[in-house]
Amino acid sequence: MAGGVGWYLTRTADESPLYAPGTTLSQVDPGITREPGSVSEIAEAVIPAVVSIEVRVGQAGATGSGVVIDGANGYIVTNNHVISGADDVEGAEIRAVFSDGSGSAARIVGRDPASDIAVIKVEKPGLVTASLGRSDDVVVGDPVVAIGSPLGLAGTVTSGIVSALDRPVRLSGEGTDTNAVISAVQTDAPINPGNSGGALVDASGALVGINTAIASTGAGGSIGLGFAIPIDTVKRISEQLISTGSAVHAALGVNARSVTDGARDGALVLNVEPGSAAARAGIREEDIIIAVGDTPVGSSEELVVAVDARTPGEEVTIEFVRGGSSQTVQATLDPA
């Protein structure tokens, strides 16, 4: 019986006309209205300042992203881990590909493994330059847009919000000398491999960070935990790299690991470099550092970030726990 019903319905449908010459389909009238500050407007303004970066070393290749920060002189900022494998390698090639599909060979101006920032240069006039924002203007909950080349897909745009600020994140990567701890802007805008070095911009289209890392469950894709280097750090390091080819950081001169006693967290000093700022100040192994100046320290990552926020030669108060009691010393930070 069921078979008979199916046959009848099929025969009935087959008797209707198959073609309808001259058919036109209705469209929405009027068209979509895009408000100022929409993701589409931001993308249109910023995409021309974002590039894909192709790196080739021998038979191996890799891709990443970059942002034009000085179009008049061809300077592009990216991540150190994107281009470090090509530095001082004979025959290695770095190429920047622009939003219009054109490409240009690029040279490394300088790179900083301690912040995972690098600057490359192309000889191509009239590049669109990204507008730089300010880190102090960014607050949790702000809408942001990430633009880059995830998985080699150039000009990809994703959106989200600022999920957290000043998040200490340790960066390292196989095949690169990057070994950095950054005070990151955290975002839930989807970021994937290849987004590294790309733009994180605010609702005005101003660059507020350089996308650099993701947290993943192991599959390698975005789970809504992306991290960007704050724009103030990007600007400071980029200016040093463009001026001198290298960047200078403050150093205390200790190696530490994170510890907690259940009541208070800190950075346990494992060793002190001879002659370092820490050694001169009297800091010893087994001391637990809990503050740098007025910045609390609850982990080894927070210690690195707190010291890096200072300048070489600056005198700072270090608070630590020794033998169960809290002490303070003055340390004059070294250049690193």
CA distance readout (Å), 326 to 70, 200, 266, 292, 317: 48, 41, 12, 13, 13
Closest CA to 147 of 184, 196, 102, 203: 196
CA distance readout (Å), 324 to 157, 288, 331: 52, 10, 21
Q: Of the residues 84, 112, 116, 238, which is catalytic?
A: 116
Residue 219: count of CB within 10 angstroms of its CB: 7
CA dihedral 62, 63, 68, 74 (to 10 degrees): 40
Q: Of the residues 81, 84, 222, 249, which is catalytic?
A: 81
Evaluate whether 230 touches 142 at the Cβ level (below 8 Å): no
Q: What angle do CA 220, 225, 227 make, to 5 degrees?
A: 100
For residue 326, what are the β-bridge partners? 321
The continuous run of DSSP H or E covering 334 comes out as strand 334-335
DSSP code for 25: -
DSSP letter string, 70-85: ETTTTEEEEEHHHHGG
Q: Of the residues 163, 196, 276, 300, which is catalytic?
A: 196
Is residue 249 part of the annotated active site? The answer reads no
Residues 119 and 165: their CA atoms lie apart, in Å, by 24
Q: Which are the catalytic amino acids?
A: 81, 116, 196
